Structure 1
Amino acid sequence: MYIQNFDPLNNMVGSAALAFLPIVYFFVALIIFKMKGHWAAITTTVLAIVLAALVYDMPVILSVMSAIHGILYGIFPIGWIVIGAVFLYNISVKTGQFEIIKKSIVSITNDRRLQLLLIAFSFGAFLEGSAGFGTPVAITSAMLIGMGFKAKKAACLSLLANTAPVAFGGLGIPVLVAAQVTGFSGDYIAKLLAMICPIIGFIVPFYLILVMAGLKGLKEVWPAVLVTSVFFSIPMGLTSYFVGPILPDIIASLASMIALVLFLKIWQPKHIYRFENEAEASSEHIVLSKKTIIKAWSPFIVLILFIADWGMKSVTSLLDSVNILIPIPFLNNAIMNSTTNTLVEAVFNFNWLSAAGTGIVLAAFMSCIILHVSVGKSISIFADTLNELKIALLTISGVLAYAYVANNSGMTTTMGLLVSKTGNMFPLFAPIVGWLGVFVTGSDTSANALFGKLQTTAFSAVGILPIMGIGANLAGGAVGKMISPQSIAIAAGTTGLTGREGEIYKFSMKHSIILLAMICCIIYFLDGIFLSVLVSEAGSGSAQAASSTASSGGLIILLVSFVIVFLARKLLPSSKTTA
């Protein structure tokens, strides 16, 4: 039995300094020594294991098994999502359909700034709201490269665009987990976020274009950016306040996409923004039939369909019935959290059917049916995708190995506790705790599980409405997503930049800190201004149990989706594409 000690040196500053050491080393290895991402991750994990043994007195066997648990989680479900996303993109490219997609987007606008808003921000927010866990960065960065964006620019801008929807990602999972660990209801937390997240959602599109094209470039397209921001932030706020935490991203992203497309039918910028040395787009008017366009977009339409299915309780209830739960040897229930006096479970959940990655991979294979790709060819593309991503998967696994060692040893909590010692100024620094949590774990969901109770307790101790702690954690975590080693590894793997993660970090860290500073100010000044509606709790807990008829309902939904795919194969143009 290992009992976590969050202050092993009996000096919180000193303990936190040692806890931060692996993170500092990781940055130095990537940025200064330009070490390959997978080697940086592996050596960081080794350093964390050494510190866990020498400083935290954690038995080496527990550290090693924690790393193995992280490796497993890095491969599945995280790596599985990346595989599915790149596989689907490769199908679109190898069948020639992505060329038609590019032409269909250019028919809306050939301005690179507006293409970025449509793909990375609005469509990315939809993917985040539907699946989360790296899906939007993987898909949108690949799409941007296909549109002609350079790999590094596509990776960096996709990471930046993905900050706005993170709090409600994966059908509100971060909020629902926060509800479980704090006792507040999900709807109550969503009411608070309705006053925070729309502000972030309004700012990010402007900031995104400012980073891409500068102030002059932003001025040229500000009406379109304003339309995107307004039709994203207002629906997000209204849905969050009146409906709850599950649908804000979905509603907001669809509203912003539709609004921007309709607006661009009546307005276009006077100056079309292109990249340096990029040839002007052909003035030849290419007419594409609606069926041709729908067929080209069919892989992503099927993706949306299956992601929506996988997000439904009735479907996941059915698919979870075949989960394989594997307790991690030596590690499961061998660690006690000294704050809560509870044992830490270490069970690998091999939810091979209900995982988001499975929905994406299945969507890719279903797309092959619509596009008339043979079974042999689709398997060949899948094998090529696995070979393409082998180093990226190694990096992701290494990063998660470190995260699990840091979490189980208590290092992550040590870092959070240091920030919580700032007393009455804590609300100003509270988002940093969420930011650190997502940086280490790669997930706003995990950061809430880790620090949710700490935040509410700290806010209550300084006489501030406890629910504000959850808002701070979620908002800070949202901008921490773009610097998480897990996110960086996904972006690098998808864009072919594996080994150049340090270059992405140089971009991401600067802008993440700028956005974090904004959020710290928002949380600090929001206290007591707009929160009178939140004074009384709206209940505790968030019962989400599925009914006894859930499985049969899920089966019907899946069958309908398969029928739609086979009908699409019959109704769309049947000429085989070159693969």
Structure 2
Amino acid sequence: MYRQVLDPVAGSLAWSSLLAALPLAVLFVLLGAVRMRAWTASLIALATAVLVAVLVYGMPTGQALLAASEGAAFGFFPILWIVINAIWVYNMTVATGHFDVLRRSFARVSDDHRLQAILIAFSFGALIEALAGFGTPVAVTSVMLIALGFAPLKAAVLALTANTAPVAFGAMATPVLTLGKVTDLDSDTLGAMIGRQTPILAVFVPLVLVVIVDGRRGLRESWPAALVAGAAFGLAQYTTANFLSVPLADVVAALASAAAVVAMVRLRPAPRPAPVAGGAADEPTPEFAARASGRDSRAETARAYAPYAIIIAVFVVCQIAQVKDLLDRATRTFGWPGLHLTDPSGKPLGLVTFTLNYLTTPGTQMLVAGLLTMLALRVGPGRAVRAYGTTLAQLKWAIVTVMAVLALAFVMNASGQTITLGTWMAGAGAAFALLSPVLGWLGTAVTGSDTSSNSLFGALQITAADKAGLSPVLMAASNSSGGVLGKMVSPQNLAIVAAAVGLDGKEGDVFRRVVGWSLVFLAGMCLLSWLQSTPVLSWMVP
């Protein structure tokens, strides 16, 4: 049995926090400054976390290693289980040539690569986030951008940057529902509050995307379309989250944004931009090479869109209450063998409980969508198995990275390192409103999941709010809204997108390109959270 300690260094939260932050400092320095491969950096950071847990926090070595093993298992199921099956579906579309048809269909909407970045990375990515979440949107949209002629590094940066505003309502609002459970606050009220923060972020994200694609000229020439796309997304997300349905917020927002981009293209043709550097995926597959310069038939175009229509249909059906309850009967929950943890007050930690939701996890639903895709694209079993093997080979280092990072997160959580950092920040009093999003950002940066960040810090946000006389709803929502900005720098997502675009070993290059935008957005969210805690914007708090 291990009982957590929050201030093991001289009874001081401040000094303890310095050592508690050491694994994260090691991870980001190795990634950003040393440019080490993500899987190597993650393993070294994991070893650092274990050493801090054992030597500083006094955690038994066996308990630390068991916590790491549970984190690694959680990294594979459900997180990697989702990503692997999503990339498998994509690889089948590549193998059959239908991805080339999809590419040409998007290209016919506009040949302006700045608008293509908004349509695919932002709007389409938000739809994938709404349905599957985790690392699926960055993997799928980055390879789609490469197929349209974007260089791999730029495609990765665009996909990660775009995957911000939709995250809090991703996977049918799983982060919001989780936040409601850990805080005992109404999830609809939390969703409404988050829906008054992230829509403001959404307005600016497409503007940043056109800057990444084409610099100042891109902003000067494309800002109307970018602004309309962001405003349409933000307005739809706000309206849906506050008045219609929290789980459907991203679905409605993604469709509204895509419709706005298409309408802008029809009403206001953009200036022809300079061409962008192409990637390897820009070459059409032999099966469809003959049609590269022509128009595809309606039947082939419909077949190219079929996998995504199937994914939407499967996920929507699985969200029906009766179907969800039926599938949930297969869920099994058990305590992680040998792991015995309590919080500082002696209460057992829920961290030791592991859930195997075989049928309700999006990964299994994505697998079902893949099997249906085989029928729609007429893919035989042998070809599908080869595509799955290709997927596993493509993601091998990402698999190691994700499992190592989640092992790191579980060791930090189990030993008390993460709570030490959060408790120290919560001592800021009224100024905590300014720091609340930072806590969420930190949680997502470590775990790669806004859901996990809410599980980790949701209750702490409520405690800090009560002590400082702040709104519990605002602080809990700020945790989730700040968390969405940590996703783009999470080693988990860096590894997934690097594997998808063929940049294994160059995760540090991607990290350096996105960390600045992540911090700029975070500063804006901190300012918004603070203003909402004051009379200036307190009217925005439900």
Give the equivalent residue in structure 1 for 2:392.
386
Preserved contact between residue 431 and residue 472 of structure 1 (Cα < 8 Å): yes
Residues 120 and 161 in structure 1, CA contact (< 8 A), matched pair in contact too: yes
The equivalences for 1:220-259 within 5 A come to: 220-259=221-260
CA distance in 1, matches of 2:539, 2:334: 46
* SS in structure 1 of the partner of residue 5 of structure 2: coil
Which of 316, 319, 322 matches 2:327?
A: 319
Q: Which residue of 2 aligns with 1:155?
A: 156
The equivalent position to 1:309 in structure 2, one of 311, 317, 321, is 317
Residue 215 of structure 2: aligned partner? 214
Aligned twin of 1:140: 141
Partner secondary structure for residue 274 of structure 1: coil
Paired position in structure 1 for 2:304: 296
Where in structure 2 are the equivalents of 1:354-365 lying within 5 Å?
354-365=360-371
Quick one: distance in 1 between partners of 2:318 and 2:443? 26
- Alignment-derived partner of residue 288 in structure 2: none
One of 386, 399, 404 as aligned partner of 1:398:
404
Amino-acid identity (%) = 37
Given residue 4 of structure 1, which amino acid in structure 2 is its aligned partner?
Answer: Q
Aligned to 2:106: 105
* Residues 309-337 of structure 1: per-residue CA shift (max 9 Å, x gap): 33443333222222343432111xx1111
Equivalences for 1:182-201 in 2 at 5 Å? 182-201=183-202
Judge conservation of contact 1:428–1:524 (CA < 8 Å) in 2.
yes
Q: Would the aligned equivalents of 1:303 and 1:363 in 2 still touch at CA under 8 Å?
A: yes
Query: SS at the partner of 1:479?
Result: coil
User: Aligned to 2:355, what secondary structure does the other structure show?
Assistant: strand
CA displacement, residues 343-376 of structure 1 (integer Å, 9 cap, x when unaligned) = 3342332223222112222222221211112111
Aligned residue in 2 for 1:574: none
SS of residue paired to 2:463: helix
For residue 52 of structure 2, what is the aligned residue in structure 1?
Answer: 51
TM-score (norm 2): 0.93
In 1, the alpha carbon distance for the partners of 2:209 and 2:426 equals: 31
Partner in structure 2 of residue 8 of structure 1: 8
Q: Does structure 1 residue 486 correspond to structure 2 residue 525?
A: no
1:268 corresponding residue in structure 2: 269
- Aligned mates of 1:254, 1:40 — CA distance in 2: 38
Give the secondary structure class of the aligned counterpart of 1:499.
coil
The match for 2:513 is: 507
Counterpart CA distance in 2 for 1:270 and 1:212 is 15
Task: Answer yes or no: is the 8 Å Cα contact 2:127–2:255 preserved in 1.
Answer: yes
Deviations 1:518-576 (A, max 9, x none): 111111112234444756xxxxxxxxxxxxxxxxxxxxxxxxxxxxxxxxxxxxxxxxx
Query: Is the CA contact (8 Å cut-off) linking 2:5 and 2:57 kept in structure 1?
Result: yes
What per-residue deviation string (whole Å, max 9, x for no partner) do you get for residues 16-70 of structure 1?
A: 1101111111122223333222121112111111110111111111110111111
Alignment of 1:67-78 (within 5 A): 67-78=68-79
Specify the alignment match of 1:25 in structure 2: 26
- The correspondence of residues 303-452 of structure 1 with structure 2, limited to 5 A, is 303-331=311-339, 334-338=340-344, 341-452=347-458
Contact map agreement 1:428 1:520 (CA 8 A) in 2:
yes
CA contact (8 A) 2:137 2:163 kept: yes
Mapping of residues 272-283 of structure 1, within 5 Å: 272-276=273-277
Aligned position for 1:87? 88
**Which residue is 1:573 aligned to?**
none
Note if contact 2:38-2:491 (Cα within 8 Å) is conserved in structure 1.
no
Return the match for 2:464 from 443, 454, 458. 458
* Range that drifts further, 369-378 or 340-349: 340-349
Q: Distance in 2 between matches of 1:125 and 1:217?
A: 22
**Aligned residues of 2:307 and 2:369 also touching (Cα < 8 A):** yes
CA distance in 2: counterparts of 1:159 and 1:173, whole angstroms: 20
* Kept after mapping to 1: 8 A contact 2:232/2:256: yes
Cα deviation for residue 186 of structure 1 reads 1.1
Deviations, residues 417-471 of structure 1 (Å, cap 9, x unaligned): 2222222222112111111111112211111121112212222322222211012
Matched to 2:301, the amino acid is I
- Listed one character per residue, the Cα deviations across residues 133-170 of structure 1 (whole Å, up to 9, x for unaligned) are 22211211122222222222111111110011111111
Could you tell which deviates more after superposition, 287-296 or 174-183? 287-296
Give the Å deviation of 1:339: 5.4
User: Is this contact kept in 2: 1:131–1:311, CA < 8 A?
Assistant: no
Residue aligning to 1:34: 35
Using the alignment, how far apart are the partners of 1:259 and 1:61 within structure 2?
55
SS in 2 for 1:213: helix
Are 1:170 and 1:311, in contact at CA under 8 Å, matched by a contact in 2? no
Q: Which moved more, 1:477-486 or 1:292-301?
A: 292-301
Cα offset for 1:276? 4.5
Are the structure 2 counterparts of residues 61 and 277 from structure 1 closer, same or farther at C-alpha, using a change threshold of 3 Å? closer
Gaps of 5+ in 2: 283-291
Alpha-carbon distance in 2 for matches of 1:378, 1:417: 49
1:472 Cα deviation after fit: 1.4
Structure 2: distance between partners of 1:118 and 1:386: 28
Q: Which residue of 1 aligns with 2:170?
A: 169
Whole-angstrom CA distance in 1 between matches of 2:336 and 2:111: 52
Q: Which amino acid aligns with 2:171?
A: G
Aligned to 2:436, what secondary structure does the other structure show?
helix
1:288 counterpart letter in structure 2: D
C-alpha contact (below 8 Å) 1:195/1:530 kept by paired residues:
no
Matches of 2:231 and 2:485 in 1, distance apart? 20
- Contact residue 194 and residue 478 of structure 2 kept, 8 A: no
Whether the 8 Å CA contact 1:122–1:256 is kept in 2: the answer is yes
User: CA–CA distance in 2 between the matches of 1:465 and 1:523?
Assistant: 11
Letter of the aligned partner of 1:6 in structure 2?
L
Asked whether the 8 Å contact 2:32–2:508 carries over to 1, the reply is: yes
Query: Which amino acid letter does the alignment assign opposite residue 517 of structure 2?
Result: H
Amino acid at match of 2:401: T
Q: 2:541 & 2:165 partners in 1: Cα distance?
A: 23
* Paired residues of 1:89 and 1:143 also in contact (CA < 8 A): no
Is contact 1:48-1:405 (8 Å) kept? yes
- How far apart, CA to CA, are the structure 2 residues paired with 1:438 and 1:277? 32
| Superposed CA offset, 1:172-198 (max 9, x none) | 111111111222211111222232121
* In structure 2, C-alpha distance between the alignment counterparts of 1:458 and 1:216, rounded to whole Å: 45
What is the letter of the counterpart of residue 219 of structure 2?
Answer: L
Are 1:113 and 1:273, in contact at CA under 8 Å, matched by a contact in 2? Answer: no
What is the identity, as a one-letter code, of the residue corresponding to 1:2? Y
Task: Give distance in 2, aligned partners of 1:146 and 1:307.
Answer: 26
Aligned to 1:569: none
- Take 1:339 and 1:508, find their aligned partners in 2: how far apart are those partners? 40
Distance 2:313 2:376 in 1: 14
Equivalent pairs, count? 532
Residues 314 and 504 of structure 1: is their aligned pair in 2 closer, same or farther, counting only changes over 3 Å?
farther
Corresponding letter in the other structure for 1:307:
F
In 2, Cα distance between equivalents of 1:273 and 1:306: 40
